[in-house]
A and B are shown apart, each in its own frame.
Chain A
C-alpha cells in the first residue's frame, strides 16, 4: 500500500510541473505589455518602466519562469497586478467560503444520491424508479445558475426565508449556515441527479454478477447480500464519479459565488478575468490545478481502498 502511494506521488510531480509550465506560458501569450494594461494607456513611460522592473518583466523569459517556480515553492503567490494586495491574504480569506460550499454540496449529493440510487435499482421499473430517472435527466440538463435563480426566487424573493446574497459571517454559525443553504442545495441537488443515476446502473450491473448469486445461494440474508457484497462492488465507479464531481465543483462553486455574490476563490478568479489582472489569474489557475491534482490523487487512494485489486 505504501509503495503504491509513493508510486502515485512520483507520477504526480511531473504532471504538476507540466501543468504549471503550461499555465506560465499560456499567460505569456497575452498580446501587449501587462504593465501598460495595469497602469492604463496614459501612464508615463517612467511609471511603466518602474512597474516592469518591479514585476520582473525586464528579466529574460527563462529567469521569469525560474522565479515563478521559486516563488511557488516558497508558497508565495505574489501580489495583484491591479490592487497591489497580497494574493496569499486574499486567498486565505476566501478559501473557507469555497471549501464549505464544496463540502456541503458533496454531502448533499452523496447523502441523498447513494440511497436513492440503491433504492431505485432494487425497485426497478417501479413508479419511484421512473420518477427517479426523469429527475436524474432533468438534473443532468439543468444549468446550475438557472436552478440557483429558481431557488432564489422561491426561498428568498417569494417566501423570504433565506438570504439571497452574500456569504454570511464565518464567526456566526447560524448566519453562515443560512447563507450556505441555497448555493449548497443548488450544486448538491444537481449532483444527486448523477449520483443516483450511476449508483443505480452500477448496482444493477453488480446484482447480476456471480458472487451475488453465490452470496444468495449460501443463504445470506438479502440485506447482507446487498449492503455487504453488492454495494461495496458498486462503489468503485461511484467513487470515481464523486472525484470527478469534486473537480467540477471548482467551476460550480465559481458560478455560485457569482450568482449569490459570495466571497470565494471563484469570485477572485472572475474578478481577475474581468480586470485582466494577469498575476492574479496566473496564481488562481495554479491554485485550481493544484486542487485537481490533489483530488485526483485522493480519489485514486480511496479507489484502492474500495477495490483491493488495484494495489496488487
Chain B
C-alpha cells in the first residue's frame, strides 16, 4: 500500500526537513554570528549572541535543543525584533493563505474552460491559440508577469493598486501573477485528460442516446478526467507557496514569503530557518493529503502507484 507508506513516512520527512534546516545555519561560511551582526560588532556582542543562540554548545546538544523547541512550536527568537519567530510567521500567514487560495481559484477558473474547449475543438484554430497561450504562460515567470501586469493595469489603466494589501482590489494582481503559470499548466492537463476520455466508447454511447456534445462532455468525460487533474492541481498547490516568495516581494504583500526574503536581507537567520521550515512542513502535509484524497477519488491511481 504505497499511499499508506507515504502517509506513515510524513513524520520522518518532517524530521528530515527539520534536520536540513538545522544544518543550514552551519553552512554559513566563517562565523555565523559574525555574519549576522555585521562587521562593526564588538567581540562582547558576538559572544553574547553566540551564547543566546546556543551556538557555543556542542552540535548534538544544539540539535536536541532545536528538536525540543520544534515539538513546542518554538522556532527561536528573531535577532532583529527579539520576538518569537513562530509569532512572526503566524502574523504573516493570513496574507499568504488568502493569496495562495485566490491564485489557486483563479487558475482553476481559467484552466477548466480553456482545457475543455481545447479538448473539444482539438487541433482547430481555437485549440492552437489556447496551446500557444499556455506555452507562453508556462514560460513566463512571476517576476516577469508581475511587473508587466503592474505596468498595464496599475500604471497605464490606473485600475488596480501597484502594491500592498490595504487598498481594495489589491489581491487581484498578485493572485493573477501567481496563478498564471499554474493556469497554463492545468489547462494543458485538462485538455489532455478530457481528450483521452472523448475517444472512449461511453462517449459514443452517450451521444447515441441523444445527449448533446456539451452535456456528454460535462456529465461524463469531464467527470472521469477530473481526478488526475485535481491531483496535479493539489500537488502544485504546494509549489504555489514557493511562488509566494517572489510574488510577495514584487507586490510588497505582507506574507511569509516576504518575511523570508526580508529576513535573508537582514541576516536574521533564525527567522529564515523558521520560514523555510514552515513552508516545507506545509508542503509535505499538503502533498501527503492530496495523495490520500487521490485514492478516494480514483482507485485506479492506487493501482497505478502499486505497479510503478
Query: Do these two chains interact?
Result: no
Binding site for A on B (CB under 8 A): none
